[in-house]
Amino acid sequence: MRLWGRRRDEELDEEVRSHLRMAAQERVERGETPEQAEAAARREFGNVALVKEVTREMWGWAWLRQFTQDLRYGLRTMRRGPGFTAAAVLTLALGIGANSAIFSVVNAVLLRPLPYPNAGRLVRIRRVDPRGGNVGGTVSYPNFTDFREQAPGLEHAAAYSDSYAWLGGGGEPERIEGVYASADLFPTLGVSPALGRAFTPEEDRPGAPLVAVISHGLWQRRFGSDGGIIGREILLDGDKTTVVGVMPRGFNFPLGRKSNDFWVPLGSSGYGEMLKNRRANNHSVIASLRQGVAVGQAQAELDAVNERLASQYPEANAGAAARVTELQSDLVGDVRPALLVLLASVSFVLLIACANVANLLLARAAARGREMALRTALGATRGRIVRQMLTESLLLSAAGGAAGLLVASWALPLLVAADPGNIPRVSEIDLDPRVLAFALFVSLLTGVLFGLAPALKVSRPDLNKSLKGGGRGSAGGPARSRVRSLLIVSEVALSLVLLVGAGLLIRSFVALLGTPPGYDPSQVLTATLDVSRAVYPEPERFFQQVGARVRELPGVEAAGMTSLPPLSASDTSVEFRIEGRPEPQPGSAPVARPLAIDEDFFRAMRVPVRKGRALGEQDTGRSLKVVVVNEELARRYFPGEDPIGKRLILYHTYAKSEPAPYEVVGVVSDVRHRGLNVPASPEFYVSYLQMAPPRMTLVVRSATPNVAGLAASVRGAITEVDRGALVWDLRQMDERLAESVAPQRFNTLLLGLFALVALALAATGILGVMSYTVAARTHEIGIRLALGATRADILRLVVGRGMLLTLGGVASGTAAALGLTRLMSSLLYGVSTTDPVTFVVVAALISVVALIACYVPARRATQVDPLIAMRYE
Amino acid sequence: MAKESRYRNRIELLQGTLDLLILQTLQWGPQHGYGISQAIRVNSGEVLRVDTGSLYPALHRLERHGWVSSDWKISDNNQRVKVYQLTAKGKKQLASERSRWEQLSEAIARALNPQGEGGEA
């Protein structure tokens, strides 16, 4: 095309030349001198270059030719102003990079379909209990089978429970995470193992031989990618289990956990009794919808099934409902608002960056007024100049986009490493084609956004003035300064919104950290001891021995045990009865979280006893059964009564426990077990000797701040009691607490970072505009000074104008923030979305920063020498 | 401003009229750009002067539509000139443009001299 284009160019040249020649010749024949004739012919012909240009436009390739021309010209302009180019590209790179990075997280977590063939049809079925209690939305096995069989819209449905196992064989047992699932799991997801097969419904029954499907990772790591693994026996929790399949590389289910290494049938597990219990709401349920069945239809079917179940088994199902949601939105439910808020914030940063670059371009446009006037005089049309200016700004934004992708590829690993633990599918985050397309789109958009206003301004120059004058001229006229003022106002407004958002998150975070957890987390070490999978004839004796041995260790102030330490993921609630009260209506029985502890737990955790007594050494397996309740339970179920001496009938707690009356002997203060931001629900504590739990967590209070040093000796004490003891999660309580607020910290840090960048960009913007204004008005300032204005007057003039704009920005930003912060209410804790303290402090902070940004150029203005200023120009 | 000066010295031709004039001129035989502009000037009694900035884009546009074709010829005084020629398609186009022009000028004439119908209205 190029060659062909060049030939056409040459032909056009020749055509024009022959035209001129013929015209001149005719004049010569009429008697003019050749020189006169040639000049006249040229004059008559007009603007040769322009004629060629408009003729070329007829060829159809005009836009491309002009574009390459503009491109070359733009590149030259960029090279000529390296400082300007660097400032603009860097600003854009920051904005586009941050946007691409956050978008890749949004893309991987919210947008990309789940990594299963049936992704589009997968739903989660949650049990919704009006009494609360069952936060996890888990379903009992009998209810699950009824759902599966009675809702025709479900193609497959599977029940599963997250679990773990101790993988034996060779050295120390390794704790691996995995899932107990019904055999429908694999057809539901639409996946099959890469090697071997999935387990069958026959293997998903009580008494069936034990089989397992393992992950690709485990197969590689523990079995050296042995092709003969299928059919081999491995030791899971000490049981010989046959490996029947290996999943494909990268397969993970459920995605809420970073990795899962095994999937075993639920039916053949030791949970046989539980699977018959309609009240044991312990299983997560997913389903795949039949082709063409909408979520709403499945919901209607399940509502019908649920209604039948409620009337058939009121004691288990009265009042409960089942809610169907798409699996993907169920998975990301918690992180979605946070990610969207982050994406919105980062786009604000980009908008501010755009405003800054537009400012730079405007300033430069003023300096280029003469060049544009010249081009116009030479015949360039307005559209042509706008096109050229837009090409230049698009070049800038493309460079900014490319640099931004570099920034993103550098920031992304940091972002992934800072994973607060609640973001599913973090490992899938990458710069995929969709992110690249996003970056390209954003770059083009920003190019047009910051380039259009300057381009339109520049293309309307006053020719005479620009050509005659020095080209620097006045401040650019009222219209241009209006655009600049608007940019300042919007920069201030945008950064105010971001700062308010960040401020609210910081206030929430401080409030969160300031919330008393109900115990003293400092200098406490925790370690979980598992007895469910190992063979202990008397687990209580093991716990007792460990407790006694640890208490003897030097530096240990107290050592207690609990079945469920604060901030552990597990969450169960059970029904109970209060002796002497009428049997409650089905669905309205009291519920509470059961905890089994030893007599030292409250002392070790420093949980204050409010009334009565704590559990003591006198409470043994043979003594009177007693229970200690938390204040919330007392408040909710014994309002205006003294619970001490009342008796609770507890049942269905752990496998071994029988329904039996327990006398309330004490009330302790509320412990925020489920996180600092979750108020305590009703809870009761029973001695582990009276209600055998499957595992206990040791909590050791150190007498010295050297808690880490204690870890080794605690582990030593445990293995002294039993060399095969299964211990994990040896951590400090502080760490657990810090980890539990990691999502909030992540959001706060990121939004805070964005707000700071926004503030810095806005400050630079104000500084730039005010400096430019001062420079452009040097002449005027000189006259004012010469006419008797004081330096203070000048200072007031410049700062006053800047601050007026800032106040406009603060006002409009406050109005916008009042509307927008509502969207982040789910991220806030202990602070309202319109918190006046945050708004006032942020407005003050922005004003101070703006004041400094105005003061610097204003001071320069006061130092203008009237004589020099007036000679200038 | 530059824009204005470009158009100041010529009678604004109605959209499409220049095409008609060019096609009509080429009906007498192949001609080069300069010749076409001269012919239009002479044939219009020195009233119409075709601006080169309109002539050449028009010629190239007509060529792209396939209404004229071009050829490089050697002129009488031994110089290479680009000569345009009416195509069959161009002849059809000329006929339709002519009839459109006649309708238009008739309509304008009537609009400018409405005596005939004025009494009735």
SS3 A615: coil
Which band of pLDDT confidence, cut at 50, 70 and 90, is reported for residue A473? very low
Q: In this complex, do B79 and A47 lie within 8 Å of one another by their Cβ atoms?
A: no
Nearest to B81 among A18, A47, A377 (CB): A18
Model confidence band, residue A160 (pLDDT cutoffs 50, 70, 90): very high
Cα dist. A443→A83, A483, B79 in Å? 20, 22, 53
Residue A465 has pLDDT above 70, yes or no: no
Q: What is the mean pLDDT of residues A722-733?
A: 85
> What's the rounded Cα separation, in Å, for the pair A480 and A769?
12
For range A183-193, the mean pLDDT: 95
Computed over every residue of chain A, the mean pLDDT equals 87
Which DSSP helix (H) or strand (E) runs through A264?
strand A262-265
Confidence of residue A119 (pLDDT cuts 50, 70, 90): very high
For residue B32, the chain A residue with the least C-alpha distance is A19
Q: What is the pLDDT of residue A480?
A: 61
Please judge whether A58 and B64 are an interchain contact, meaning their C-beta atoms are less than 8 angstroms apart: yes
- Distance in angstroms (rounded) separating the CA atoms of residues B72 and B52: 19
Q: Calculate how close chain A gets to B105, using CA atoms only, in Å.
A: 28
Residue among B19, B32, B52 with most chain A CBs within 10 A, to mutate: B52
**Which residues from chain A sit within 8 angstroms of residue B79, using beta carbons?**
18, 21
Cα A563–A566–A572 angle (5° rounding)?
60
3-class SS string, chain B: CHHHHHHHCCCCCCCCHHHHHHHHHHCCCCEEHHHHHHHHHHHCCCCCCCCHHHHHHHHHHHHHHCCEEEEEEECCCCCEEEEEEECHHHHHHHHHHHHHHHHHHHHHHHHHCCHHHHCCC
Q: Is the Cβ pair B32, A11 closer than 8 Å?
A: no
**Count of CB contacts below 8 A, A vs B?**
64
Chain A hits for B77, CB-CB cut-off 8 Å, are: 25
The pLDDT, as a whole number, for residue A258 is: 86
pLDDT at A173: 81
Mean per-residue pLDDT for A602-631?
Answer: 92
**Distance (Å, whole) CA A591 – CA A372:** 78
Determine whether the interchain pair B64/A50 forms a contact, defined as Cβ–Cβ distance below 8 Å.
Answer: no
Phi-psi region of B113 (alpha: psi -120 to 50; beta: other; left: phi over 0): beta
Are the Cβ atoms of A18 and B79 closer than 8 angstroms? yes
Instruction: Summarize the confidence of residues A40-65 as an average pLDDT.
Output: 80
Residue A630 has pLDDT above 90, yes or no: yes
Summarize pLDDT for A419-433 with one digit per residue, the tens.
888 888 888 899 999
Nearest Cα of chain B lies from the Cα of A80 at a distance, in angstroms, of 28
CB contact under 8 A, A376 and B82: no
Nearest CA in chain A to B83: A15
pLDDT value for A26:
86
Instruction: Set out the domains of chain B in order of their start, with CATH numbers.
Output: 2-111 (1.10.10.10)
Q: Which residues of A touch B53 (CB under 8 A)?
A: 46-47, 50-51, 54
Nearest CA in chain B to A48: B53
Task: Between B55 and A261, name the one with better pLDDT.
Answer: A261
**Tokens of residue A758, six digits:** 């926004």
CB atoms closer than 10 angstroms to residue A557: 15
| Mean pLDDT, rounded, for A551-557 | 93
- What is the rounded end-to-end Cα distance, in angstroms, of chain B? 45
- Which carries the bigger pLDDT value, residue A154 or residue B8? A154
Q: How far apart are CA A764 and CA A770, in angstroms?
A: 10
Chain A interface disruption, residue of B34, B38, B64, most A CBs within 10 A = B34
Read off the pLDDT of residues A678-709 as tens digits, 9 standing for 90 and up: 899 899 999 988 877 778 999 999 999 988 88
Q: Do B2 and A376 touch (CB under 8 A)?
A: yes
Question: Could B2 and A379 be called an inter-chain contact, meaning their C-beta atoms sit closer than 8 Å?
Answer: yes
- List B residues 58-117 in contact with A (Cβ-Cβ < 8 A): 60-61, 64, 72, 75, 77, 79-82
Q: What percent of chain A has pLDDT over 70?
A: 93
A59 contact residues in B (CB cutoff 8 A): 60, 64
Would the CB atoms of A57 and B51 count as touching at under 8 Å? no
DSSP three-state, residue A30: coil
HSE (side-chain half, CA atoms, 13 Å) at A862: 15
Tell me the CA end-to-end span of chain A in Å, nearest whole number: 49
CA dist list (Å): A145 to A142, A538, A645, A847: 5, 36, 42, 63
Distance CA A182, CA A203 (A): 10
pLDDT exceeds cutoff 80 at A644: yes
Which pLDDT tens digit goes with each residue over A338-387?
999 999 999 999 999 999 998 888 888 777 777 777 777 776 777 878 88
Question: Cα A502–A507–A513 angle (5° rounding)?
Answer: 125
Using CB atoms, pick whichever of A19, A25, A378 lies closest to residue B33. Answer: A19
Q: What is the strand order of the sheet B80-86 is part of?
A: B31-32, B80-86, B68-74
> Taking 90 as the threshold, does the pLDDT of residue A666 lie above it?
yes
Given A18, A60, A381, which is nearest B80 (Cβ)? A18
pLDDT digits (tens, 9 = 90+) for A101-117: 999 999 999 999 999 99
Q: Tell me if B57 and A381 make a contact (CB, 8 A cut-off).
A: no
Instruction: Over range A436-464, report the average pLDDT.
Output: 81
Separation CA A138–CA A743 (nearest Å): 24
- Is A18 in Cβ contact with B32 (below 8 Å)? yes
- Give me the interface pTM, i.e. the ipTM: 0.80
Top-ranked range on mean pLDDT: pick from A144-153, A721-730, B17-26:
A144-153
Question: Is the Cβ–Cβ distance between A744 and A512 less than 8 Å?
Answer: yes
| pLDDT score at A333 | 84
pLDDT recorded at residue A653:
53
Residue with more model confidence, A693 or A177: A177
Query: Chain A contacts of B82, Cβ < 8 Å?
Result: 11, 14-15, 18
Task: Indicate the burial class of A42 (C-beta count within 10 angstroms; 0-12, 13-18, 19 or more).
Answer: middle
Q: Which of A1-10, A316-325, A855-864 has the least mean pLDDT?
A: A1-10
Name residues whose C-beta falls within 8 Å of residue A368's C-beta, 6 or more positions apart in sequence. A458
Query: Can you read off the two tokens belonging to residue A861?
Result: 């203005």
Interior angle at CA B107, CA B89 and CA B52, nearest 5:
50
Q: Which of A196-210, A500-514, A841-855, B15-29 has the lowest mean pLDDT?
A: B15-29
Residue A397 vs residue A422, higher pLDDT:
A397
Q: Lowest-pLDDT range, A161-170, A229-238, A811-820?
A: A161-170
Judge whether residue B116 has pLDDT over 60.
Answer: no
- Cβ-based contacts of A379 with chain B (< 8 Å): 2, 6
Judging by beta carbons within 10 Å of its beta carbon (0-12, 13-18, 19+), is residue A454 exposed, middle or buried?
buried
Q: Does B1 touch chain A (CB under 8 A)?
A: yes
- pLDDT surpassing 90 at residue A606: yes
The pTM of the full predicted model, rounded to 2 decimals, is 0.79
| Cis, bond preceding A643 (omega within 30 deg of 0) | no
Residue A766 has pLDDT above 50, yes or no: yes
Dihedral sign of CA atoms A633, A636, A637, A642 in order? positive
The contact set of A with B (CB < 8 A) is: 11-12, 14-16, 18-19, 21-23, 25, 45-47, 50-52, 54-55, 57-60, 376-379, 381, 463
pLDDT (mean) for B50-55: 84
**Which of B82, B39, B52 lies closest to A41, judged by CA?**
B52
User: What pLDDT does residue A298 have?
Assistant: 95
pLDDT of residue B65: 85
Looking at chain B, which residue has its C-alpha nearest residue A374?
A: B2
